[in-house]
A and B are shown apart, each in its own frame.
Chain A
Amino acid sequence: MSSHAGKVGNAAAALVDILQSTVVRFGLGAFLVGVWQYSSMQAGSIFFPPPSEIAIRAIELWLSGPPSRLFLGEGVFDDILPSLSRLLAGWSLAVVFGITLGTLIGRSRGFSELLDPSLQFLRAIPGPALVPVFILLLGTESVMRIVLIAFGSLWPVLLNTIEGTRTVEPLQLDTASAFRLPRRARLWRIVLPAAMPKIFAGMRVSLSLAVILMVVSELVASTNGIGYRILNSQIMFLLTDMWCGIVLLAVIGYTLNALFVKVEDYVLNWHRGARGRPST
Chain B
Amino acid sequence: MLVVKNVQFAYSPGQTVIADIGFDVTAGEIVSIVGPSGCGKTTLLKILAGLLKPSEGIVEFQSQPVRGVPAGLAMVFQEYSRSLLPWATVNDNIELPLRYKEVDRPSRARLVSDSLDAVGLSGFGDYYPWQLSGGMQQRVAIARALAYQPQLLLMDEPFASVDAQTRADLEDLVAAVHARFGITIVFITHDIDEAVYLSDRVVVLSKSPTTVLDRITTDLPRPRDQIATKALPQFVAKRSEIARLIRRPTSDMAP
Contacts and interface: CB of A to CB of B under 8 A. Distances in A.
Given A180-B101, A273-B131, 18 more contacts: A171-B77, A171-B79, A172-B85, A175-B83, A179-B75, A179-B144, A180-B71, A180-B100, A181-B96, A182-B100, A185-B96, A185-B99, A193-B87, A196-B87, A270-B87, A270-B130, A273-B130, A280-B161
Contacts of A171: 77, 79, 82-83
A189 interface: yes
Interface in A175-209: 175, 177-182, 185, 189-190, 193-194, 196
A175 B128 contact: no
Contacts of B83: 171-172, 174-175
17 contacts: A172-B82, A177-B51, A178-B74, A179-B96, A180-B71, A180-B100, A185-B99, A189-B88, A190-B85, A196-B87, A270-B86, A271-B87, A273-B128, A273-B130, A273-B131, A274-B128, A276-B130
A103 B86 CA distance: 20
A279 B134 CA distance: 9
B82 A180 contact: no
A17 interface: no
Interface string A26-38: 0000000000000
A190 B96 CA distance: 11
A174 B86 contact: no
A177 B69 contact: yes
A4 interface: no
Nearest to A193: B87
B100 A175 contact: no
Contacts of B96: 179, 181, 185, 189
A116 interface: no
A277 interface: yes
B77 A175 contact: yes
Interface size class of A (residues with CB under 8 A): 20 to 34
A181 B81 contact: no
A155 B59 CA distance: 47
Interface of B: 46, 49, 51, 69, 71, 73-75, 77, 79, 81-83, 85-88, 96-97, 99-101, 128-131, 134, 144, 148, 161
Interface of A: 169, 171-172, 174-175, 177-182, 185, 189-190, 193-194, 196, 270-271, 273-274, 276-277, 279-280
A280 B129 CA distance: 11
Given A181-B97, A185-B100, A175 B81 contact: no
Task: Count chain A CB atoms within 10 A of each CB in B49, B75, B99, B100 and give the residue with the most.
Answer: B100
Contact of A271 (B77, B86, B131, B148): B86
A171 B83 CA distance: 6
- The listed residue with most A CB atoms (<10 A of its CB), out of B46, B128, B130, B144, is B130
Contacts of B88: 189, 193
A79 B128 CA distance: 46
Nearest to B148: A179
Given A185-B100, A274-B128, A279 B75 contact: no
A2 to B, nearest CB: 34
B51 A174 contact: yes
B69 A178 contact: yes
Contacts of A193: 85, 87-88
